[in-house]
Amino acid sequence: MERDSWFIAWRNVSRQLRRFFTIMLACVVGIVIISLIQGVLAGIDRNIYAAAERYYGGDVLVFGTRVVPYHEDYAPAKDRPVLERLARGHEEVVSTNFRMSINAQATLFFDGAGQDQKRVIGIDWDAESSLLREIDLVRHADAAPGDDSIIVSQASAERLKCDVGSSVLVQVKRISGVVDTIRLTVWGVYRDAAVFGPFNCYVSNKALNTVLGNQPRDFFCFALRLRPGVDRLEFAHRFYREMIGQLPTLRFMSSREEYAEKKHWFSGEETHYTAMPVDYTIEQLNQLSGALKIGLYLLMVFVAVTVAIGTFNTYRIMLDERSRELGTMRAIGLSGVGLRNLVLREGLIVAAVGCLAAWLVSLAALGCLSFAPLGNIPGLDLFLDKGRLKPEVGPLQYLADMSIMVLLLEMSAWFAAKRIRDMSPIEAIVRR
């Protein structure tokens, strides 16, 4: 009987495809829209994080700071081995690197034009060769970059009218206020992800330290890249605890803001360290994307409710149209519960086919979206990676979306079937 019921349901659906098409279409559209929204949200999160990781160099960051002779983010080269030894003790760590950096105290000059830089990032070219693959290089020199190389953003290059091979003058203001300059050759021009602004540039640690008056291997940040899936906050806590006793430490900070406020709350001349996940550095961006997410989640709810109401009404009309057929089935012995189950099974079959179609359509839609060049849309470039959105939906997310849609369809079918179930066979037959 159970098998017969599934067979009858399948036969009804396959023979009356036109009737079920609207419901199937609603299922497909609902799943595609919801998965697209989720894909975009996941893509935004991933792009923001990837930009932060590129910007700071890792998933967990160890910052050094000192108060003597100046309040500044600075760590001496002598502390490098301690940090490297601590990092080697963790199998979660994929790679490490040291970075120097200077904020808003630098200007690039070329041929009479000047462009202030939001940040000059000093890196070890050899240790961070992967960065050259990760950043969106528009054009670059063939030879590997050296200590006299600089990678400028496309926005800076356009303002300065410089290009690969141009000799630009980098003027920095040291923390003491002294002005120093260094001439560097443009090795590459990159399209900035823009999350951290379009006016950043990359130079070698050695060049930046030289112009800042530091030792060549001094740094301000030790960045650790972790294996995917490692809890960054927990790892930062663990690494911080291991630093205690090995290096002078600050307290573990709960946010970047707290770090900015309290990083100089210590006495003594030594550089003090703390660790934090890179997530701390993108809290404001996360708030921005959070606001966007709320809007998109509301849209998702709207889509789900629309699909639910639409399918319920379609079911009602469809079952009304089929009252003679269903009444006949009741008359030849199908119980009210059996009739309801039949409708539910029809709904399940429609939902299953709809889900399969929706999966294929959404894969295609996500693929198209990930190839769409969106870099020129104002405001959106904040969330792009190399000018692309790169949305992504995991299999579990698809499963959850499909489950929700199946549930909505079954609820619509259940409520619509409830009326038919309680109807007498005669009433059903004579209804139309």
Partner 1 sequence: MKPMHRLAVAACLILSAGALSAQAGDQRLAKIDAALSIDGTDFVGQYTFTQEVSRKGETAPAVSTKKAVIYRRDSSNSYLLILSEPEADKGKAYLKTDNNLWLYDPVSKRFTFTNAEDRFQNLNIRNSDFSRSSLAKDYKVVGAAKEKLGMFDCDVLSLEAVANTVTFPKLKIWVSPDNLVRKRQDFSLSGELIRTSVMPSYLKVGAFNVPKRVIILDELRGRTIDGKFVNDQTIMVVEAPSLQKLNGSIYTKAYLEQIGR
Interacting residues toward partner 1 by CB under 8 A: 109, 111-114, 169, 171, 173-174, 176-183, 211, 213
- The DSSP secondary-structure symbol of 409 reads H
Considering beta carbons, is residue 136 or 158 the nearer one to partner 1? 158
Choose between 144 and 179: whose C-beta lies nearer to partner 1.
Answer: 179
DSSP letters for 297-333: HHHHHHHHHHHHHHHHHHHHHHHHHTHHHHHHHHHTT
Of 102 and 405, which CB lies nearer to partner 1 in the complex structure? 102
Of 45, 21, 24, 20, the C-alpha closest to 397 is: 45
Strand, helix or coil at 201?
A: strand
Question: Closer CB to partner 1, residue 171 or residue 328?
Answer: 171
Among residues 173 and 237, whose Cβ is nearest to partner 1? 173
* CB of 160 or CB of 247, closer to partner 1: 160
Of the candidates 118, 132, 98, the one whose C-alpha atom is nearest the C-alpha of residue 196 is 118
CB of residue 113 to partner 1, shortest distance in Å: 7
CB closer to partner 1, 140 vs 174: 174
**What minimum distance in Å lies between the beta carbon of 173 and partner 1?**
6
Report, in Å, the least distance between residue 179 CB and partner 1.
Answer: 5
Measured from the CB atom, is 113 or 294 closer to partner 1?
113
46 exposed, middle or buried (CB, 10 Å; 0-12, 13-18, 19+)?
Answer: middle
Q: What's the min distance (Å) between Cβ of 214 and partner 1?
A: 13
36 vs 30: CA distance, rounded Å: 10
Minimum distance between the CB of residue 219 and partner 1, rounded to whole angstroms? Answer: 21
Distance in Å, CB of 207 to partner 1, minimum: 12
Least distance between partner 1 and beta carbon 114 (Å): 5
Query: What minimum distance in Å lies between the beta carbon of 167 and partner 1?
Result: 12
Distance separating alpha carbons of residues 2 and 229, to the nearest angstrom:
45
Q: Least distance from C-beta 402 to partner 1, angstroms? A: 55
Task: Return the sign of the alpha-carbon dihedral for residues 140, 141, 143, 145.
Answer: negative
Minimal distance in Å, beta carbon 153 to partner 1? 19
Output the CA–CA distances (angstroms, integers) from residue 210 to 66, 180, 255, 300, 426, in the order listed: 19, 10, 31, 53, 95
Angle at 228 between CA 278 and CA 251, to 5 degrees: 35
- Contact (CB, 8 A) for 147 and 100: no
Kindly give, in sequence order, each residue whose CB lies less than 8 Å from that of residue 4, ignoring residues fewer than 6 positions away. Answer: none
What are the beta bridge partners of residue 177? none
Rounded alpha-carbon distances, angstroms, from residue 362 to 23, 35, 38, 347: 17, 7, 11, 21
Q: Would you say 175 or 429 has its CB closer to partner 1? A: 175
Pick between residue 2 and residue 269 the one whose CB is nearest to partner 1: 269
Distance CA 35, CA 358 (A): 9
- Among residues 151, 216, 159, 213, the alpha carbon closest in space to that of 184 is found at 151
Cβ 187 vs Cβ 148: under 8 Å: no
